[in-house]
Amino acid sequence: MDGPVHAALFDAESLARLTALADTDPSFVVHDFADPAAAGPLAGAEVLLTGWGCPPLTAEALARMPRLRTVIHAAGSVKHHVTGACWERGLTVASAAAANAVPVAEYTVAAVLFSGKRVLHAARVYREKRTWMNALDVVGTGGNHRRTVGVVGASRIGRRVIELLRPHDLRVLLYDPYVGEAEAAELGAVSVPLDTLALTSDTVTIHAPELPETRHLFDRDRLALLPDGATLINTARGSLVDTEALTAELVAGRLNAVLDVTDPEVLPPDSPLYDLPNVLLTPHIAGSLGNELGRMTHAALDELERYARGLPYADPVRADRLTRSA
Active site residues: 237, 265, 284
- Which of 186, 245, 173 is closest to 215 using CA atoms? 245
Largest CA-CA distance found in the chain, in angstroms, rounded: 71
Through-space distance between the first and last CA atoms of the chain, rounded to whole angstroms: 19
**Coil, helix or strand at residue 43:** helix
Within 8 A by CB and 6+ apart from 49, the residues are 18, 72, 74, 300, 304
Which DSSP symbol is given to 56?
P
Within 8 A by CB and 6+ apart from 172, the residues are 148, 149, 150, 151, 162, 165, 188, 189, 190
Burial of 166 (0-12, 13-18, 19+ CB in 10 A): exposed
Report the phi/psi class of residue 130: left, alpha or beta, with left for phi > 0 and alpha for psi in -120 to 50: left
Cβ(281)–Cβ(288) under 8 Å?
A: no
**Coil, helix or strand at residue 19:** helix
Other beta carbons within 10 angstroms of residue 43's beta carbon come to: 12
Radius of gyration (C-alpha) of the chain in whole angstroms: 22
Cβ(9)–Cβ(293) under 8 Å?
A: yes
Helix (H) or strand (E) holding 44: none
Within 8 A by CB and 6+ apart from 293, the residues are 8, 9
Helix (H) or strand (E) holding 279: strand 279-281
